[in-house]
C-alpha cells in the first residue's frame, strides 16, 4: 500500500477506491457513521484474526478475563452490539441455564418474562429499547411517569413474574426524578430480582458493577473504539446463561473472531490508558472565539449530562437574526465536502453541539471556518423550520435507497 494513500487517522485505500464521502465528526459516537475510529493495534488484531482459524470459546474466555479486569465484574462475554446484549441479558434472566427454555424463546418465554423499567428510561437509541426486550420474548413492565418515579411503584411491579429490572444510564433518558441506581438495585435485590444496566455509551466501566448491578452492558465500538461489538459484564451464572443464548435467539447476534480480537485489544488499551476526560481546551477556546463573533450565533460550554468532566460547545442559532434555523445550518454543514456532522439532539430547540473528541486542531479550525462561510453565504440557506419529525426516522434510515 502506498503510504500517501493512508491519512493520519488510518483511512485506507479501500475506502478511497469506493469514494465514500469523507466525514469530520463533531457529533459523537454515532452508529450511522461507524461509531469510532480504532487505533492501529485494534485494527491489526482484527486483521490478524481474519487470517486464521481460532477457537471462539477460547477467545470468549480471554474476553471474559479482560472484561473482568476492566469492570470489576466476575465474568463477561461478547456479542454483536449493545442492543443485542440487551436482548441476550433479558433472555438470560428468563431462562437461566435451562437449555430447553433457551430453545423455546421468544415465543414460549417461561414463567418469568416481565422486565421492569422506569418510563424515563424507555429510550430510542436508533431503535426502541423496548424492541430489544421484546425480541427475547420479554414483556416490558413500565413504571412511573416521565418526570417522577417512586419506590412504591417499583416495589409494586416486582413479582414472581419478573425476570429482571432494567436500568438505563444515558444522556437519552429523563435526567430528573428517576430512582437512583443504588436504590433501584436495593429494591430489586430485596425481591431476589437481578438488575441489568444498559450503559452502552458510557465511559465509566466500574461504578455500575460496584453499585450492585448483576449484568452491565457496554458498546465495544463507542467509547472503547473497538470493532462493532457488545460487552456483557456481570455475575458468573448470569454471564453463562447469557452466553448459552447462542444456542437459541442469539445465534443471529453472534460476534466473529475479528470482532472479539479487536474488542479485547480495545479493552486492554482502556485498561492501560484510562479513556481520558475529553476537554481539549484549545479547540473549545478557538471555536468560542470564531463563533461568538458571528451575528445570530451564541455559544456556551456544556458538560455532558452524565460524564460531566467532558465538555462540548453548544451553538444556539437565533433564527430571527440569522434568517435560518439551527436545522438548516446543520444540514448545510452535512452537505459540504468533507461532510461536517454536528451533535443534533437539540436541533428542534434551535441549537446543536460541537464535540471536540474526534478532531485534530486543523479539522476543528476547518469546522469553525465552514460555519462562518455557511453563514456568510446564508442567502442560499432555506429558512427551513424544524426537522421533519413525521418522516425524519424513515428518511434517516432509507435516504441511501430512494
Ligand X SMILES: *Cc1c(COP(=O)(O)O)cnc(C)c1O
Tell me if 192 sits within 8 A of 207, measured CB to CB: no
87 counts as binding ligand X under rule CB under 6 A:
no
The residue (of 227 and 248) whose beta carbon lies closer to ligand X is 227
Residue whose C-alpha cell reads 455557511 in the numeric block: 374
- In the complex, least distance from residue 126 CB atom to ligand X, rounded to whole angstroms: 7
207 counts as binding ligand X under rule CB under 6 A:
no
95 counts as binding ligand X under rule CB under 6 A:
no
- In the complex, least distance from residue 323 CB atom to ligand X, rounded to whole angstroms: 35
125 counts as binding ligand X under rule CB under 6 A:
yes
255 counts as binding ligand X under rule CB under 6 A:
no
Calpha distance 322→359 (Å, rounded): 27
- In the complex, least distance from residue 247 CB atom to ligand X, rounded to whole angstroms: 22
Tell me if 205 sits within 8 A of 270, measured CB to CB: yes
Query: Given the rule CB under 6 A, which of 165-173, 250-258, 298-306, 347-355 is the region that contacts ligand X?
Result: 165-173
- In the complex, least distance from residue 105 CB atom to ligand X, rounded to whole angstroms: 19
200 counts as binding ligand X under rule CB under 6 A:
yes
Tell me if 319 sits within 8 A of 5, measured CB to CB: no
Which of 39, 153, 170, 318 binds ligand X (CB under 6 A)? It is: 170
- In the complex, least distance from residue 290 CB atom to ligand X, rounded to whole angstroms: 31
Query: Given the rule CB under 6 A, which of 75-83, 141-149, 187-195, 314-322 is the region that contacts ligand X?
Result: 75-83
230 counts as binding ligand X under rule CB under 6 A:
yes
149 counts as binding ligand X under rule CB under 6 A:
no
Write b or e for each residue in 185-198: b if 16 or more Cβ atoms lie within 10 A of its Cβ, otherwise e. Answer: bebbeeeebbbbbb
Which of 88, 201, 315, 329 binds ligand X (CB under 6 A)? It is: 201
Which of 83, 325, 374, 387 binds ligand X (CB under 6 A)? It is: 83
- In the complex, least distance from residue 392 CB atom to ligand X, rounded to whole angstroms: 18
Strands 215-219 and 230-234: antiparallel
- Applying CB under 6 A, the site for ligand X has a residue count of 13
Query: Given the rule CB under 6 A, which of 36-44, 142-150, 168-176, 189-197 is the region that contacts ligand X?
Result: 168-176
Query: Given the rule CB under 6 A, which of 58-66, 68-76, 91-99, 196-204 is the region that contacts ligand X?
Result: 196-204
- In the complex, least distance from residue 98 CB atom to ligand X, rounded to whole angstroms: 27
The residue (of 218 and 287) whose beta carbon lies closer to ligand X is 218
Which of 82, 181, 193, 284 binds ligand X (CB under 6 A)? It is: 82
Of 332, 339, 293, 292, nearest to 315 by C-alpha is 292
Query: Given the rule CB under 6 A, which of 4-12, 166-174, 288-296, 357-365 is the region that contacts ligand X?
Result: 166-174
81 counts as binding ligand X under rule CB under 6 A:
yes
Which of 31, 153, 316, 360 binds ligand X (CB under 6 A)? It is: 31
Query: Given the rule CB under 6 A, which of 12-20, 193-201, 316-324, 343-351 is the region that contacts ligand X?
Result: 193-201
Chain positions contacting ligand X, by CB under 6 A? 31, 81-83, 125, 168, 170, 172, 198, 200-201, 219, 230
Amino acid at each position: 500500500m502506498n503510504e500517501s494513500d493512508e491519512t493520519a487517522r488510518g483511512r485506507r485505500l479501500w475506502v478511497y477506491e469506493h469514494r465514500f464521502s469523507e466525514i469530520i465528526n463533531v457529533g459523537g459516537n454515532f452508529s450511522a457513521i461507524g461509531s469510532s475510529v480504532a487505533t492501529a493495534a485494534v485494527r491489526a488484531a482484527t486483521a490478524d484474526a481474519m487470517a486464521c482459524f481460532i477457537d471462539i470459546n477460547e477467545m470468549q474466555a480471554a474476553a471474559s478475563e479482560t472484561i473482568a479486569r476492566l469492570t470489576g465484574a466476575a465474568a463477561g462475554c461478547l456479542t454483536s452490539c449493545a442492543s443485542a446484549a440487551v436482548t441476550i441479558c433479558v433472555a438470560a434472566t428468563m431462562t437461566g441455564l435451562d437449555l430447553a427454555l433457551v430453545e423455546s424463546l421468544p415465543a414460549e418465554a417461561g414463567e418469568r418474562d416481565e422486565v421492569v423499567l422506569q418510563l424515563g428510561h424507555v429510550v430510542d437509541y436508533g431503535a426502541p429499547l423496548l424492541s430489544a426486550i421484546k425480541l427475547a420474548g420479554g414483556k416490558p413492565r413500565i413504571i412511573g411517569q416521565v418526570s417522577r418515579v417512586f419506590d412504591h411503584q417499583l416495589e409494586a411491579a416486582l413479582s414472581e413474574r419478573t425476570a429482571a429490572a432494567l436500568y438505563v444510564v444515558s444522556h437519552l433518558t429523563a435526567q430528573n426524578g428517576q430512582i437512583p441506581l443504588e436504590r433501584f438495585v436495593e429494591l430489586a435485590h430485596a425481591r431476589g430480582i437481578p438488575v441489568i444496566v444498559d450503559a452502552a455509551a458510557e465511559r465509566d466501566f466500574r461504578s455500575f458493577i460496584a453499585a450492585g448491578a448483576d449484568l452491565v452492558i457496554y458498546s465495544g465500538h463507542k467509547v472503547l473504539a473497538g470493532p462493532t461489538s457488545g460487552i456483557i459484564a456481570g455475575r458468573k451464572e448470569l454471564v453463562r446463561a447469557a452466553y448459552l443464548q447462542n444456542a437459541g435467539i442469539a445465534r443471529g447476534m453472534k460476534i466473529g473472531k475479528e470482532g472479539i480480537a479487536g474488542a479485547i485489544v480495545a479493552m486492554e488499551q482502556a485498561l492501560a490508558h484510562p479513556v481520558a476526560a475529553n476537554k481539549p481546551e484549545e479547540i473549545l477556546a478557538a471555536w468560542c472565539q470564531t463563533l461568538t463573533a458571528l451575528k445570530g450565533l451564541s455559544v456556551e460550554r456544556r458538560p455532558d449530562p452524565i460524564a460531566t468532566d467532558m465538555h462540548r460547545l453548544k451553538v444556539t442559532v437565533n433564527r430571527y437574526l440569522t434568517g435560518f434555523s439551527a436545522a438548516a445550518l446543520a444540514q448545510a454543514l452535512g452537505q459540504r465536502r468533507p461532510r461536517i456532522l454536528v451533535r443534533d439532539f437539540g436541533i428542534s430547540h434551535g441549537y446543536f453541539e460541537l464535540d471536540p473528541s474526534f478532531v485534530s486542531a486543523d479539522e476543528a479550525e476547518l469546522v469553525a471556518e465552514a460555519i462562518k462561510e455557511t453563514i456568510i453565504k446564508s442567502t442560499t440557506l432555506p429558512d427551513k423550520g424544524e426537522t421533519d419529525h413525521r418522516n425524519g426516522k424513515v428518511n434517516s434510515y432509507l435516504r441511501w435507497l430512494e
